[in-house]
Structure 1
Amino acid sequence: MLQQWVCQSLGISAGSPLLAWSKVSGDASFRRYYRATWQGLGYIAVDAPPQHENSAAFIKVGQILRDAGVNAPEIFASDLHQGFLLLEDFGDKQLLPVLRRLQLEDDTTRAGEIYQTVLQTLLSIQRSPQKKRLGLYSREQLRTEMSLFKEWFCTAFLGLEFSVSEHVVIDQAMNLLEEAALSQPTVMVHRDFHSRNLMLLDDATFPALGVIDFQDAVNGPYSYDVVSLLRDCYLRWEPEIISHWALIYWQAAKEDGLLVDVSDEQFLRDFDLMGLQRHLKVMGIFCRLSLRDKKSQYLADIPLVIQYFLEVSGHYPELGDFVEWFNQRVLPVADQRLPKSAG
């Protein structure tokens, strides 16, 4: 069906031998991707089941990003009823392998230059005057996301059961992280801004950057995307390097007028607590992907996510009871159940 629709969209005969067709690696969603090549031009065909995926949001957010000067793929054709899209082909060059190579070479100077370029793209997203067209990252959404930690990581994957007092400790920590997120200045938030969703668009040493997987964008906390990028679930840098790069973002955001009244101390607190919220959520999401969607490869990334949580949470005494509970009840079982991180 999809291939026939692509042929119709391109104005060629169905099954034309001139159309090259190949499957492309998928992501954590229900979407399936195919590369279609015709007359030397490449396209990405997307099969996004409407019962699971919001293609209308993808189209809307993509236009907002392009209006902001961000490289988001052009949409050449769409059929929302079937969940079909025909997109500009950004190629296969993710940012992640480039950063991993620099990490192996211990070249933090070059990595820092790349991150500064990426952060400029992020600032372009955050400056978008159209953020009000997006839904708000609401209290209910934050709470629902953090509940994934209990439901999918602790209960479904680790098999833990909670006492009344444990529920209280967990809920107090979640409330603290929720309030910290809601108190932040709001910007346009990509919500999955990391090295697997950033594409290199040509063959230069560090070319133009393409942004993908943006359909869940919202109007929300300014620190969300920057901590998603710098405390990447698929790649780890030393904490002092991360803090240095984070403060480069803070300075640029202040100069841009986005964070006029946010001190460096407040920024680092916002950055840390937002990261804790995200990483607790991600522990649940990765387990759900494994248990529900049979994508067990994401379990290998959870040890790094836990490492981030432990590195950061210990700096905040107000989370002391939760951290103690995590170390005593969660960590021993997680160490037995999870593969070791390649971080």
Structure 2
Amino acid sequence: MIRLCLRKLKIADNLERRALSFAKSFHEDIKSIQPLTEEASGRKYFRASHDQGTFVVCFDPSTINGHSVFIQRAQELKNANVRVPEILKYDEDSNFTALEDIGNYNLLDVPDFYQKNDVVEKVLLLLNDMQSANLVNLDTTFEMGLESHAKKFSKILCKEFLDLDIYSGYKDLYKRMIPKLLDQKWANCHYDFERRNLHMGADEEIILLDFQDLGFGPIGIDLAGILIDHYYETNLELVSSYSNKFAQLSKFDLSGDEVYEYALWGALQRNLRIMGTLTSLYIHKNKKFRIMDLPRIISNSAIVANEIGESELSNFLSNTVLPEFNGRIKVL
């Protein structure tokens, strides 16, 4: 274990040195470079400082949806009036990109976020603009991943981590969920359109981040990302109210009730995937930084499941998964 930790430190130090070298190739008068918050995506970010200001260095070795896609999407979104960080420099060989530093103030830092109607409405307007953008060669594999996403919950969180057998009706839930997602309106989909990926600039403009994984999917997925939050107990009245607001401004001809249903089914699919993904990061990569988010995600998923008539799943989450998880994390 000690040897493994030392190896990880050595790799991190080497990456930081490479990030510094890249930063100096863009601005030679770099005074310091500091790692920024770790992300579940595996991308690494650093803040480079010099006498005139700062910029951000991103390292992304991904062969799928890496820097070249990020740069393409940034320009396409900018053309659609979606505010994104300015790209300052890109080095294809090193997998580093220099980006405008938009600061640390993401929407997780906005207190009582869902009581700030003007801010939430700005986010919904940005979502509509993003959905309307002309994006070329979008990934359309969402449908193919539905079964594996559902199994992340049952196999990784329930069985592998909690040693729980999934209830017998779960396969039937999956069969009911598929048409509820596939029959929605589809559009450009971020898949992680949540407050951590939305920053507020100095002029209170909302700035979109981590958009290189944009694909084509049901609009309920991104509605769920912003309306069914991982850090607040789900308030169905507020979800309904903002669903009505989105229906009024959306490019789609939808009623508030339709948007509400889309968001709830999107939340269920999204949360089942995320519960498995965050557990996998903890079990297989020892990444603990989001594991403590799971109790809220589990309880909110139970609220959503109950609202859309999936009482068996709601009861399983509330009465079996949540108590077992809370007992397990006490000894972590």
Select the residue among 141, 148, 151 that pairs with 2:155. Answer: 151
CA distance in 2, matches of 1:265, 1:199: 29
Alignment of 1:80-91 (within 5 A): 80-91=92-103
Change in Cα spacing, 1:333 to 1:170, as seen in structure 2 (3 Å) is same
* Contact kept in structure 1, 2:31 and 2:48, CA below 8 Å: yes
Select the residue among 282, 288, 300 that pairs with 2:280. Answer: 288
The answer to whether structure 1 residue 223 and structure 2 residue 215 are counterparts is: no
Which deviates further from its counterpart, 324-333 or 141-150? 324-333
Corresponding residue for residue 327 of structure 2: 336
CA distance in 1, matches of 2:44, 2:21: 16
Question: What SS is found at the alignment partner of 1:285?
Answer: helix
Residues 197-245 of structure 1, C-alpha deviations (whole Å, 9 max, x = no match): 111111x5xx111111112111111122121101121334532122211
Select the residue among 164, 177, 181 that pairs with 1:160. Answer: 164
Corresponding residue for residue 76 of structure 2: 64
Corresponding residue for residue 5 of structure 1: 22
Moved over 4 A (4+): 324-329
Corresponding residue for residue 171 of structure 1: 171
Alignment of 1:112-123 (within 5 A): 112-123=117-128
CA distance in 2, matches of 1:278, 1:120: 21
Question: What SS is found at the alignment partner of 1:22?
Answer: strand
Residues 46-83 of structure 1, C-alpha deviations (whole Å, 9 max, x = no match): 12233687222222222221111111112222223432
The answer to whether structure 1 residue 200 and structure 2 residue 200 are counterparts is: yes
* Contact kept in structure 2, 1:50 and 1:80, CA below 8 Å: no
* Contact kept in structure 1, 2:140 and 2:216, CA below 8 Å: yes
* Contact kept in structure 2, 1:143 and 1:178, CA below 8 Å: no
Change in Cα spacing, 1:52 to 1:29, as seen in structure 2 (3 Å) is farther
* Contact kept in structure 1, 2:223 and 2:266, CA below 8 Å: no
Corresponding residue for residue 132 of structure 2: 127
Change in Cα spacing, 1:151 to 1:54, as seen in structure 2 (3 Å) is farther
The answer to whether structure 1 residue 270 and structure 2 residue 262 are counterparts is: yes
Residues 266-316 of structure 1, C-alpha deviations (whole Å, 9 max, x = no match): 322222111111111111112122222222231211111112111121133
* Contact kept in structure 1, 2:240 and 2:256, CA below 8 Å: no
Q: Tell me which amino acid in the other structure corresponds to 2:171.
A: D
CA distance in 2, matches of 1:54, 1:224: 22
Change in Cα spacing, 1:332 to 1:22, as seen in structure 2 (3 Å) is closer
Give the Å deviation of 1:324.
4.4
Q: Tell me which amino acid in the other structure corresponds to 1:89.
A: D
Change in Cα spacing, 1:102 to 1:327, as seen in structure 2 (3 Å) is closer
Change in Cα spacing, 1:208 to 1:323, as seen in structure 2 (3 Å) is closer
The answer to whether structure 1 residue 38 and structure 2 residue 38 are counterparts is: no
CA distance in 2, matches of 1:322, 1:102: 29
Give the Å deviation of 1:6.
2.4
CA distance in 2, matches of 1:182, 1:190: 17
Give the Å deviation of 1:338.
4.0
Q: Tell me which amino acid in the other structure corresponds to 2:91.
A: D
Select the residue among 126, 140, 143 that pairs with 2:144. Answer: 140
Can you give the 5+ residue segments of structure 2 that lack an aligned partner in the other structure?
1-17
CA distance in 1, matches of 2:244, 2:314: 26
Give the Å deviation of 1:7.
1.8
CA distance in 2, matches of 1:21, 1:336: 40
Residues 124-160 of structure 1, C-alpha deviations (whole Å, 9 max, x = no match): 1011132x53111431122222221122211221122
Please give the TM-score of this superposition, normalised by the length of structure 1: 0.83
The answer to whether structure 1 residue 211 and structure 2 residue 208 are counterparts is: yes
Can you give the 5+ residue segments of structure 1 that lack an aligned partner in the other structure?
none
CA distance in 1, matches of 2:62, 2:227: 32
Residues 86-120 of structure 1, C-alpha deviations (whole Å, 9 max, x = no match): 1111111111111xx236xxx82xx1121011111
The answer to whether structure 1 residue 234 and structure 2 residue 231 are counterparts is: yes
* Contact kept in structure 2, 1:250 and 1:264, CA below 8 Å: yes
CA distance in 1, matches of 2:312, 2:120: 35
Question: What SS is found at the alignment partner of 1:77?
Answer: strand
* Contact kept in structure 2, 1:190 and 1:214, CA below 8 Å: yes
Question: What SS is found at the alignment partner of 1:199?
Answer: strand
Q: How many residues align?
A: 313
CA distance in 2, matches of 1:322, 1:199: 34
* Contact kept in structure 2, 1:43 and 1:87, CA below 8 Å: yes
Give the Å deviation of 1:330.
2.9
Q: Tell me which amino acid in the other structure corresponds to 1:64.
A: E
